Amino acid sequence: MKITHLFASVLAIFATVPAFSQVKEQAFLTPNIEVAGFAEMEVVPDEIYFSISLREYFEDEKNQKNKVNISTLEKQLLKAISDAGLAKDALSVSGLGGYQNYYDKKKKPATFLESKQYELKVSGPDKLDGILSKIEARGVQYANVARVDHSKKEEFKKQVKIDALKAAKVKAEYLVASLDQKLGKVLEIKELDENLYFPQPVFAKANVRAFAQAESADAVQDSDVQYQKIKISYRMQAAFEIK
Domain residue spans of the chain: 29-44+151-243, 47-149
Q: Write down the pTM of the prediction.
A: 0.66
- What is the model's pLDDT at position 164? 97
Mean pLDDT across 125-147: 85
pLDDT of 147 higher than 50? yes
Residues 6 or more apart whose CB falls under 8 angstroms from that of 147 comprise: 49, 198, 200
- What is the model's pLDDT at position 227? 66
In one letter, which amino acid is 27?
A
Report the alpha-carbon distance of residue 230 to residue 196 in Å, rounded.
7
- What is the model's pLDDT at position 201? 55
Judged by average pLDDT, the poorest of 22-36, 120-134, 180-194 is 22-36
Q: Which of 225, 188, 222, 190 is nearest to 205 (CA)?
A: 225
Answer for the pair 236, 164: CB distance below 8 angstroms, yes or no.
yes
- What is the model's pLDDT at position 107? 59
- What is the model's pLDDT at position 121? 92
For domain 47-149, give the fold.
Alpha-Beta Plaits (3.30.70)
- Our CA dihedral for 156, 160, 166, 170, rounded to 10 degrees, sits at 140
User: Using one digit for the tens of pLDDT, what is the confidence trace for 176-218?
Assistant: 999 999 999 999 999 998 888 877 654 433 334 444 443 444 4
pLDDT of 32 higher than 90? yes
For domain 29-44+151-243, give the fold.
Translation Initiation Factor IF3 (3.30.110)
- What is the model's pLDDT at position 181? 93
- What is the model's pLDDT at position 108? 61
Report the alpha-carbon distance of residue 141 to residue 82 in Å, rounded.
21
